[in-house]
């Protein structure tokens, strides 16, 4: 048995070494396809987490005119308090002109000319409202009653923002997924061809093996194993790639102050582990499919 | 040991390689297959090894109908059949000893068995001094000895030889035939396809003559024609 394992490893690695450039190409393709696949899953997880966190406190924002008079302002506040008493609103925060200006400063930190044109007095103060019922229709009804009130400039539903973020993230995730699937197909074909090359390089050995009565699996196994190694190395290398993508692409999004919604855009360690497992599984599937097709088509034993 | 019952083999394009062939070869016999090129000698050999399947008729090897053999059992059939060829089919990157060891290794023989049997069989074929040479460092006759060692190291019941002296000069051929004769004397059944009139006439063994796929003569202690 030890001899057989030794034989298997020896044959496999001599195949890998003989085709070293193809080996590298196959491993890289597996790595890149799995990394893109994992990135797509991470974006999906991230947006789920971001919007999930939002669900607890879906907001709408009542933007007031900068020059609103005190009577109009307190009338709106009264309505909000009344809604809170009727338990339709969980809580609401007043964001004054100075605080809004601070947000604005952060948001437009990169364009000083925009900042020069504004001062706190231009800023619209706002009420940020957390309704009790997260249902989108209820919220939109709640919000709409402020739209026509005196002194109100605009009412913005956070759900629209969420939906926009979800749509964008979905598009990113789907596009990445499509490219990753295309690359997965390329990986399968590359593994297939690499193994066909290995088989044809060993035609004579295979002929002799058949003649002296080596079993079919004995002949096939080194080639299957070779494919498996492409899959496993590619999937293994995708683990650091996943960690890199999380810290380099996903985490900066949640660190941004630009959009409060994105602060929940995170991928937890558990989710990362799950993605890694999925990648390992996919890597093995890619390898087995590629090498099984090569062996069954080109190794008629 | 070997029995053919009404065996017919037709290749694509209606080339009849063997037609209604009957033969019964006992254990320990030495049989020459003779006949012109394309008469069906190679097909005869390939059928015994189940490299080909008959279209009609049945073939028994060691009591088993090999047409009924499921494909996963074919390797085990072949372990009982050694094969040698005109072109030796040695692996150029392996030494003499490695070439022979390879045949044992790939059927899962343990290392200590290989270490014992390989030098012994190379001694038997007269190549003990050349075990570390590569095939291209050997003469044709020596290469054929390596291939015989590889075919016989597993002590098969049957040795199939397809024109084993086809690439060798007459003097070298005599040496190879002595070796095959010795192997035959150990009880191994030998079936040898050949064009070599001199060998057939000298050895005076059973001769099966084929002509355009039909057995036209089956003669004990026969001659080439």
CB proximity A205 to B under 8 Å: yes
| Interchain proximity B75–A215, CB inside 8 Å | yes
Which of A30-44, A85-99, A245-259, B113-127 shows the lowest mean pLDDT across its residues?
A245-259
Whether the CB-CB separation of B75 and A216 falls below 8 Å is answered with yes
Residues A294, A171: one domain? yes
Report the alpha-carbon distance of residue A229 to residue A93 in Å, rounded. 58
Residues A238, A115: one domain? no
Residues A185, A260: one domain? yes
Position A52 scores a pLDDT of 57
Mean residue pLDDT of chain A comes to 83
Indicate the residue among A123, A158, A193 that finishes a domain: A158
Indicate the residue among A158, A188, A205 that finishes a domain: A158
Tell me the pLDDT band of A58, cut-offs 50, 70 and 90: low
Contacts of B111 in chain A (CB under 8 A): 3
Q: What is the mean pLDDT of residues A32-43?
A: 91
Using DSSP, state whether B222 is helix, strand or coil: coil
Report the alpha-carbon distance of residue A256 to residue A73 in Å, rounded. 32
Residues A196, A262: one domain? yes
Residues A9, A30: one domain? yes
* pLDDT over threshold 90, residue A250: no
Contacts of A219 in chain B (CB under 8 A): 106
Position B205 scores a pLDDT of 95
Position A2 scores a pLDDT of 45
Tell me the pLDDT band of A261, cut-offs 50, 70 and 90: low
| Interchain proximity B83–A211, CB inside 8 Å | yes
What's chain B's Rg over C-alpha atoms? 17
Position B76 scores a pLDDT of 93
Q: What is the mean pLDDT of residues A258-268?
A: 70
Q: Find the closest chain A residue to B50 by CA distance.
A: A211
* pLDDT over threshold 70, residue A53: no
Position A55 scores a pLDDT of 47
Report the alpha-carbon distance of residue B168 to residue A125 in Å, rounded. 104
Residues A289, A180: one domain? yes
Which single residue is written with the structure tokens 């890619």?
A286
Position A1 scores a pLDDT of 43
pLDDT in tens, chain B (225 residues): 999 999 999 988 778 889 999 999 999 999 999 999 889 999 999 999 999 999 999 999 988 899 899 888 999 999 999 999 999 999 999 999 999 999 999 898 999 999 999 999 999 999 999 999 999 999 999 999 999 999 999 999 999 999 999 999 999 999 999 999 999 999 999 999 999 999 999 999 999 999 999 999 999 998 888
Position A119 scores a pLDDT of 82
Number of domains comprising chain A = 2
The pTM of the full predicted model, rounded to 2 decimals, is: 0.72
Residues A30, A141: one domain? no
Q: Which of B91, B108, B151 sits opposite A204 (nearest CB)?
A: B91
Position A263 scores a pLDDT of 65
Residues A181, A152: one domain? no
CB proximity B50 to A under 8 Å: no
DSSP letters spanning A152-202: EEEEEEHHHHHHHHHHHHHHHHHHHHHHHHHHHHHHHHHHHHHHHHHHHHT
CB proximity A244 to B under 8 Å: no
Position A159 scores a pLDDT of 64
CB proximity B27 to A under 8 Å: no
Position B124 scores a pLDDT of 93
Position A265 scores a pLDDT of 76
Q: Are strands A60-64 and A126-131 parallel, antiparallel or unpaired?
A: antiparallel
Domain containing A117 equals 60-158
Position A221 scores a pLDDT of 87
**Min CA distance, B84 vs chain A (Å)?**
10
Residues A147, A82: one domain? yes
Count the neighbouring beta carbons within 10 Å of the beta carbon of residue A65.
15
Contacts of B151 in chain A (CB under 8 A): 212
Q: Which residues contact B23 (CB under 8 A, 6 or more apart)?
A: B2, B3, B4, B208, B215, B218
Residues A88, A149: one domain? yes
Report the alpha-carbon distance of residue A117 to residue A110 in Å, rounded. 14
Residues A202, A87: one domain? no
- Show which of residues 87-106 on chain B sit within 8 Å of chain A, judged by CB atoms: 89, 91-92, 102-103, 105-106
CATH number (domain holding residue A88): 3.30.70.3040
| Cross-strand bridge partners of residue B33 | B193, B208
CB proximity B110 to A under 8 Å: yes
Interface A–B counts its CB contacts (< 8 A) at 57
Indicate the residue among A98, A127, A158 that finishes a domain: A158
CB proximity A298 to B under 8 Å: no
Contacts of A211 in chain B (CB under 8 A): 49, 78, 83, 89
What angle (nearest 5°) sits at the alpha carbon of residue B83, between those of residues B116 and B77? 85
Tell me the pLDDT band of A143, cut-offs 50, 70 and 90: confident
Q: Are strands B56-61 and B2-11 parallel, antiparallel or unpaired?
A: antiparallel
| Interchain proximity A212–B72, CB inside 8 Å | no
Position B147 scores a pLDDT of 97
CB proximity A212 to B under 8 Å: yes
Residues A47, A169: one domain? yes
Tell me the pLDDT band of A260, cut-offs 50, 70 and 90: low
Q: What is the mean pLDDT of residues A157-176?
A: 78
């Amino acid at each position: 048995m030890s001899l057989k394992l030794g034989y298997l490893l020896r044959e496999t690695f001599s195949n890998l070494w003989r085709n070293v450039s193809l080996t590298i190409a196959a491993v890289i393709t597996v790595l890149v396809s799995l990394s893109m696949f994992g990135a797509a899953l991470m974006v999906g997880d991230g947006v789920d987490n971001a919007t999930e966190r939002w669900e607890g406190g879906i907001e709408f924002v009542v933007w007031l005119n900068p020059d609103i008079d005190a009577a109009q302002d307190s009338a709106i506040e009264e309505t909000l308090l009344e809604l809170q008493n009727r338990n339709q609103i969980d809580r609401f925060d007043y964001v004054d002109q100075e605080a809004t200006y601070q947000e604005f400063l952060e948001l437009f930190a990169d364009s000083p000319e925009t900042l020069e044109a504004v001062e706190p007095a231009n800023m619209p103060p706002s009420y940020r409202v957390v309704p009790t019922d997260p249902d989108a229709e209820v919220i939109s009804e709640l919000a709409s009653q402020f739209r026509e009130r005196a002194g109100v400039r605009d009412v913005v539903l956070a759900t629209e923002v969420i939906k926009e973020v979800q749509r964008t993230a979905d598009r990113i995730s789907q596009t990445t997924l499509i490219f990753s699937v295309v690359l997965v197909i390329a990986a399968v074909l590359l593994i297939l061809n690499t193994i066909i090359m290995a088989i044809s390089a060993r035609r004579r050995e295979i002929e002799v093996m058949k003649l002296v009565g080596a079993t079919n699996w004995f002949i096939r196994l080194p080639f299957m194993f070779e494919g498996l190694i492409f899959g496993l190395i590619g999937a293994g290398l995708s683990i650091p790639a996943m960690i890199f993508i999380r810290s380099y692409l996903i985490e900066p999004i949640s660190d941004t102050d630009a959009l409060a919604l994105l602060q929940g855009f995170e991928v937890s360690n558990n989710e990362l582990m799950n993605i890694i497992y999925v990648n390992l599984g996919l890597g093995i599937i890619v390898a087995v499919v590629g090498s099984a097709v090569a062996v069954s088509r080109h190794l008629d034993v | 040991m070997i029995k053919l019952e009404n065996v017919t083999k037709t290749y694509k394009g209606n080339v009849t390689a063997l037609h209604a062939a009957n033969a019964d070869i006992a254990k320990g016999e030495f049989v020459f297959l003779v006949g012109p090129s394309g008469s069906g000698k190679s097909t005869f050999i390939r059928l015994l090894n189940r490299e080909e399947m008959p279209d009609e008729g049945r073939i028994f090897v060691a009591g088993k109908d090999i047409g009924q053999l499921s494909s996963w059992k074919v390797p085990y059939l072949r372990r009982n059949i050694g094969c040698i060829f005109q072109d030796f089919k040695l692996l150029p990157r392996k030494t003499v000893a490695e070439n022979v060891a390879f045949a044992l290794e790939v059927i899962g023989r343990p290392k200590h068995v290989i270490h014992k049997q390989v030098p012994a069989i190379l001694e038997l074929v007269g190549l003990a001094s050349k075990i570390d040479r590569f095939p291209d460092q050997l003469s044709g006759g020596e290469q054929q000895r390596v291939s015989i060692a590889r075919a016989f190291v597993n002590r098969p019941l049957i040795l199939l030889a397809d024109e084993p002296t086809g690439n060798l000069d007459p003097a070298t051929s005599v040496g190879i035939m002595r070796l095959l004769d010795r192997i035959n004397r150990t009880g191994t059944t030998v079936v040898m396809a050949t064009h070599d009139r001199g060998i057939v006439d000298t050895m005076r063994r059973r001769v099966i003559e084929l002509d355009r796929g039909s057995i036209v003569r089956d003669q004990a202690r026969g001659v080439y024609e």
